[in-house]
Structure 1
Amino acid sequence: MSEQRIIIEMGMGNDQYGMDYTKAASRAIEDAIRHSSLSIFASLDLSTDIMRVQVTIGVQEPDKVDIASLVSKLPRGHAEVRAVKGGLNVENPAGNTVVIASAAVEAFLPPQTGWTLRE
């Protein structure tokens, strides 16, 4: 086993007026991250530099997501972001479209000595 997932969090974000898929995705990532705490690093005196962070964003138009912008906002680890078809566009009778994004944020560590995660 080359890596072990230590956390997965889900989040939701939206852009109500601008149809900005990156803004909605960024808010979904922030929502997911707010639900997690990686105290394992301080507890085991590990550097977050060894962590790989994998983010999957679901939106209706994945090609409109600025991946590089999202990667630059992730606070720790080596980040990878990909956008896939998902989320939701909600048409407002007044004329605008609300963009809703979903995010899955996963963190992985290489196997550690001295302690193990259950398989």
Structure 2
Amino acid sequence: MPYKRFVVELGYGADLHGADPTKAAKRAVKDAISRSCLCGLFDIVGIKDPDEMHIAVKIGCPKANEIVAEEVLAEIPFGSREFEAVEGGLSTRGIEVPALGCGDNILVAVASLTVSVNID
């Protein structure tokens, strides 16, 4: 059976000190997850187990090729997962605080989480 999209949720995350794209991407995924309650999957669609979901994660971020996909996908508690990273997001100058990280570059990632389910 083909998967059908149920919802697309968006989030953003930043690494303020260190320009770590994985850290920013993980924060973006957490932000997207924190905005949704997928009760319609149970009440309307009729799934019985949250592991029946499939979540496609797409991250737009500077240095996208440096993102550790496994770490980002680990932020999603249920369902099967897939990952895609593309160049995007934002890089801007902040302030260097050596105790918090190297450099003054703020790196921002944007996440799109598409939740799909099989429909009988």
TM-score of the pair, normalised by structure 1: 0.85
One-letter amino acid of the structure 2 residue matched with residue 90 of structure 1: T
CA drift of 1:88 comes to: 0.6
Please say if 1:104 is aligned against 2:112. Answer: yes
Is the 2:94–2:106 Cα contact (8 Å) retained in structure 1?
Answer: yes
What RMSD, in angstroms, separates the aligned Cα atoms of the two structures? 1.7
Q: Which residue of 2 aligns with 1:55?
A: 57
Unmatched runs of 5 consecutive residues or more in structure 1:
113-119
Count of aligned pairs: 112
Q: Which moved further from structure 2: 68-77 or 43-52?
A: 43-52
CA drift of 1:50 comes to: 1.8
Q: Which residue of 2 aligns with 1:116?
A: none
Q: How far apart are the structure 2 equivalents of 1:32 and 1:41?
A: 17
Percent identity of equivalent pairs: 31
Unmatched runs of 5 consecutive residues or more in structure 2:
97-102
SS in 2 for 1:73: coil
Call closer, same or farther: CA 1:10–1:45 in 2, change over 3 Å: closer
Is the 1:60–1:87 Cα contact (8 Å) retained in structure 2?
Answer: yes
Instruction: Give the alignment partner of residue 94 of structure 2, picking from 92, 95, 98.
Output: 92
CA drift of 1:93 comes to: 6.7
TM-score of the pair, normalised by structure 2: 0.85
